[in-house]
């Protein structure tokens, strides 16, 4: 949802959620008064808010059409029937259904809460399928309403996109997928994913790496003060400021649209939650509009139904920007998505449940509804409210703006503008912040680019037969010296320019795809190609290091650690394949496997060719996913079928000083 760190939220540790009553008189009184829908729908609305949220997922939009079709067929053939006509705790569970409004029929809803899917044996096979395909980057488990804002941004492969409050990253992933929507055309655009929380910024890496895209950069800035990003110089020798074609402002919010999954919101809800967040939300939206290109589109969204956080923020943007921005009428977009229109009237209620009026001490002018004249100009009815009882979802608010003209801002005040637009009143005592530990694999090293003429890089280009059409000068390393020592990444050319031109001004967390990993220096090429880089490099590589294999070879490589060539012969791998393997020098190579069905995508898998044996070089979860998708073999998370080789024996034939290569399923 918009932000999982909700205002006023207490730790769930030692809280017995089963004992939290899903009632709150203040919440009920307030939302009844708003008249968001006819009175006879109130009980349906409240009942929906009190019920657990169903599980939803979508097939990743950047996968090839063949792979997308294969994943959908797997779900329908192996799981749809098993989940049809079942009962759980004496209640009949509705069969899974397509989300009718999501494009390409690639999103599904399962009317079982996530916690039940995880722990109940009845649903274990489907849960395992979801885990495997999520880890492989083929699907994303995401709440249905969370899928809406990226769709309404209408991202194209050439767009420059900013996600201002990106963590945990499900919407960001959608934006990146939209760049790669046409597999035949590499995107020229990029996504900058920003989050103000350092730890959550690092968590974005794990969400986005699954997509294997070189077209994103993760930053760690306070969104309301998002910095000017310099791009190319103009004729006056001054740097131009980067403007974005698309901006997503999915801002921190009180989260009362998440009542179905965040049960503690019931007990924590109070009027001042929305009042306290309004100023921050407006500042972020205002900064987003400043950074938007003329003719660009910006989406403002929250997982709150509170108009103080929703229409009041939108109205303030329209009030401040005048004719420079306009609300887009999205009523014809996603036509099968049920929604309500935005509202133009709401009460402002303070801490002691008193009705506030304009001019009251400690109140903000922008909390209050627009005047009658403003309401006619603003068209707040074009905002979109998605309510839980309409389509069995969470609650959500979305507003879409288009920018029609620039308003010039002096560079020396641009950084401060968002901070002074509204003075934020204090509604609570400031909480004492605890320093959060970063993930163990977080990298805290500078970004330095390596020339394509670098000696190590020349070895890689030659050894793997990578042609000059590949952007050889877009390789970067994370080290102070800037030499390729351990890992080399590749990024989009425009991101390279941004990283180089802005130096330490940007608080960079991660960028691009891990491409080359150092292996050992006693062979022809000491580097291997990382599996993450295969999708973006396969079309630029010749077949010198590619073995045309078959499914039997692939299965042996997945199930057997470091199989010898004699072992391969005994397991029906053809002599022709083994002869091809023996023609290769020691080092990284690839196995290409065509599928029996022409409608299924062929596989290109990295391996390590040793003196006496070979080894597949993919992560454990990817190996499990291939066993299931290609061979129909179901495995368990803790299964370790190839623990027949000791680490000492494995090290004799294949070592990796920085990213240890292990048997695929060990």
Q: What's the per-residue H, E or C state across 571-604?
A: CCCCHHHHHHHHHCCCEEEEEEECCCCCCCCCEE
Task: Determine the average pLDDT of the residues in 21-34.
Answer: 95
Using alpha carbons, select from 3, 4, 1 the residue that is nearest to residue 281: 3
Query: What's the residue count for the chain?
Result: 666
* Cα–Cα distance list, 258 to 146, 165, 414, 509 (Å): 11, 18, 35, 29
Instruction: Please check if 664 is assigned to a binding site.
Output: no
Model pLDDT, residue 430: 41
Instruction: Please check if 171 is assigned to a binding site.
Output: yes
Instruction: Please check if 270 is assigned to a binding site.
Output: no
Q: Is the pLDDT of residue 427 over 50?
A: no
Instruction: Please check if 111 is assigned to a binding site.
Output: no
Residue % of the chain over a pLDDT of 70: 86
Stronger pLDDT, 407 or 146, i.e. the higher one = 146
Give the confidence band of 410 by pLDDT, cuts at 50, 70, 90.
very low
Residue 637 has phi, psi (to 5 degrees) of -60, -40
Instruction: Please check if 168 is assigned to a binding site.
Output: yes
Give the confidence band of 366 by pLDDT, cuts at 50, 70, 90.
very high
SS (H, E, C) 422-458: CCCCCCCCCCCCCCCCCCCCCCCCCEEEECCCCHHHH
Q: Is the pLDDT of residue 182 over 90?
A: no
Q: What contacts 24+ positions apart, CB below 8 Å, involve 175-179?
A: 175/150, 175/246, 175/248, 176/62, 176/208, 176/211, 176/213, 176/215, 176/216, 177/60, 177/61, 177/62, 177/211, 178/61, 178/150, 178/153, 179/62, 179/155, 179/213, 179/215
Where exactly does CATH 3.40.50.150 map onto the chain? Answer: 145-420
Model pLDDT, residue 351: 87
396-403 and 292-302 beta bridge pairing: antiparallel
**260 is written with which tokens?**
């179905």
Range in 71-85, 181-195, 336-350, 639-653 the model is least confident about: 639-653
Please tell me whether residue 197 adopts helix, strand or coil conformation: coil
Mark 435-456 as b/e (b = at least 16 C-beta within 10 Å): eeeeeeeebeebbbbbebebeb
Stronger pLDDT, 637 or 531, i.e. the higher one = 531
C-beta separation of 390 from 338 below 8 A: yes
Tell me: the pLDDT tens digits for 139-161? 999 999 999 999 999 999 999 99
C-beta separation of 111 from 53 below 8 A: no
Q: Is the pLDDT of residue 450 over 70?
A: yes
Instruction: Please check if 250 is assigned to a binding site.
Output: yes
Q: How far apart are CA 179 and CA 187, in angstroms?
A: 6
C-beta separation of 587 from 609 below 8 A: yes
Using alpha carbons, select from 362, 370, 368 the residue that is nearest to residue 424: 362
Q: How far apart are CA 28 and CA 51, in angstroms?
A: 16
**142 is written with which tokens?**
């995401």
- Which residues 6+ apart lie within 8 Å of 375 measured at CB? 344, 369
* Cα–Cα distance list, 70 to 141, 487, 602 (Å): 17, 33, 12
Stronger pLDDT, 556 or 20, i.e. the higher one = 556
Q: Could you say which architecture CATH assigns to the domain 145-420?
A: 3-Layer(aba) Sandwich (3.40)
Stronger pLDDT, 353 or 660, i.e. the higher one = 353
Instruction: Please check if 40 is assigned to a binding site.
Output: no
Q: How far apart are CA 540 and CA 538, in angstroms?
A: 5
Q: Is the pLDDT of residue 426 over 80?
A: no
- Residue 266 CB-density burial (10 A; 0-12 exposed, 13-18 middle, 19+ buried): middle
> What does pLDDT average to over the chain?
87
Q: How far apart are CA 351 and CA 111, in angstroms?
A: 38
Helix (H) or strand (E) holding 218: strand 216-219
SS3 content of the chain, % helix, strand, coil (to 5): 35, 20, 45
Model pLDDT, residue 114: 84
Model pLDDT, residue 647: 32
277 CB neighbour count, 10 Å cutoff: 27
Model pLDDT, residue 478: 94
DSSP character at residue 473? G
Model pLDDT, residue 85: 85
Model pLDDT, residue 439: 67
Model pLDDT, residue 597: 85
**202 is written with which tokens?**
């690092």
**655 is written with which tokens?**
């070592």
Model pLDDT, residue 389: 97
Q: How many CA atoms, within 13 angstroms, populate the side-chain half-sphere of residue 355?
A: 6
- Which residues 6+ apart lie within 8 Å of 100 measured at CB? 336
Instruction: Please check if 222 is assigned to a binding site.
Output: yes
Q: How many CA atoms, within 13 angstroms, populate the side-chain half-sphere of residue 77?
A: 8
Model pLDDT, residue 14: 39
Helix (H) or strand (E) holding 44: helix 42-50
Q: What is the pTM of this model?
A: 0.90
First-last CA distance in the chain: 35
Model pLDDT, residue 87: 83
Catalytic residues: 303
Ramachandran class of 53: left when φ > 0, alpha when ψ lies in -120 to 50, beta otherwise = beta
Give the confidence band of 240 by pLDDT, cuts at 50, 70, 90.
confident
């Amino acid at each position: 949802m918009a932000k999982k760190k909700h205002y006023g939220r207490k730790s769930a540790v030692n809280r017995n959620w089963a004992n939290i009553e899903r009632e709150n008189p203040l919440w009920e009184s307030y939302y009844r008064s708003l008249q968001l829908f006819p009175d006879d729908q109130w009980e349906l609305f409240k009942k929906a808010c009190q019920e657990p949220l169903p599980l939803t997922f979508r097939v990743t939009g950047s996968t090839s059409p063949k792979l997308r079709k294969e994943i959908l067929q797997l779900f329908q053939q192996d799981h749809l029937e098993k989940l049809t006509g079942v009962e759980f705790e004496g209640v009949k569970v509705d069969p899974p259904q397509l989300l009718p409004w999501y494009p390409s029929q690639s999103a599904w809803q399962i009317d079982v809460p996530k916690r039940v899917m995880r722990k109940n044996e009845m649903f274990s096979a489907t849960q395992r399928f979801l885990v495997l395909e999520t880890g492989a980057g083929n699907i994303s488990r995401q709440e249905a309403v969370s899928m809406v804002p990226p769709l309404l941004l209408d991202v194209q492969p050439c767009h420059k996109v900013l996600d201002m409050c990106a963590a945990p990253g499900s919407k960001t992933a959608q934006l990146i997928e939209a760049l790669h929507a046409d597999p035949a055309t590499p995107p020229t655009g990029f996504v900058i994913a920003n989050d103000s929380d350092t730890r959550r910024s690092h968590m974005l890496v794990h969400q986005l790496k699954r997509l294997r895209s070189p077209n994103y950069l993760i930053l760690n800035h306070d969104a309301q003060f998002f910095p000017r990003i310099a791009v190319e110089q103009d004729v006056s020798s001054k740097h131009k400021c980067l403007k974005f074609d698309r901006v997503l402002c999915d801002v921190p919010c009180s989260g009362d649209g998440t009542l179905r999954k965040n049960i503690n919101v019931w007990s924590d809800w109070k009027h001042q939650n929305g009042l306290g967040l309004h100023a921050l939300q407006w500042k972020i939206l205002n900064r987003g509009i400043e950074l938007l290109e003329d003719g660009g589109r910006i989406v403002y969204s929250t997982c709150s139904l509170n108009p103080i956080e929703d229409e009041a923020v939108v109205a303030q943007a329209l009030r401040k920007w005048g004719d420079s921005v306009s609300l887009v009428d999205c009523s014809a977009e996603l036509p099968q998505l049920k929604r309500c229109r935005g509202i133009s009237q709401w009460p402002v209620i303070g801490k002691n449940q008193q009705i506030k009026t304009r001019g009251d001490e400690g109140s903000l002018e922008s909390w209050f509804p627009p005047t009658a004249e403003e309401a006619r100009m603003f068209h707040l009815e074009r905002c979109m409210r998605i309510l839980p009882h309409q389509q069995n979802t969470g609650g959500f608010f979305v507003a879409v703006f288009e920018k029609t003209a620039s308003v010039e801002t002096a560079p020396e005040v641009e950084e401060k503008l968002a901070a002074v637009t509204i003075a934020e009143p204090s509604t609570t005592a400031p909480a004492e912040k605890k320093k959060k530990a970063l993930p163990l694999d977080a990298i805290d090293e500078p970004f330095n680019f390596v020339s394509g003429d670098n000696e190590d890089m020349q070895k890689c280009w030659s050894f793997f037969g990578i042609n000059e059409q590949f952007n050889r000068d877009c390789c970067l390393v994370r080290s102070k010296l800037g030499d390729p020592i351990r890992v080399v990444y590749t990024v989009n050319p425009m991101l390279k320019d941004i990283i180089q031109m802005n130096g330490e001004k940007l608080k960079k967390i991660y960028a691009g795809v891990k491409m080359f990993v150092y292996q050992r220096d006693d062979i022809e090429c000491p580097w291997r190609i990382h599996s993450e880089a295969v999708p973006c490099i396969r079309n630029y590589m010749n077949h010198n290091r590619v073995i045309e294999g078959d499914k039997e070879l692939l299965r042996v490589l997945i199930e057997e650690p470091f199989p010898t060539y004699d072992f391969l012969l005994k397991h029906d791998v053809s002599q022709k394949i083994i002869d091809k393997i023996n023609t290769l020098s020691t080092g990284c190579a690839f196995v290409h496997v065509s599928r029996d069905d022409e409608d299924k995508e062929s596989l290109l898998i990295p391996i390590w060719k040793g003196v006496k044996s070979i080894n597949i070089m993919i992560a454990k979860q990817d190996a499990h996913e291939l066993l299931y998708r290609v061979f129909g073999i179901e495995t368990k998370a803790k299964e370790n079928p190839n623990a027949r080789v000791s680490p000492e024996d494995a090290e004799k034939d294949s070592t990796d000083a920085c990213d240890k290569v292990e048997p695929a399923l060990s």
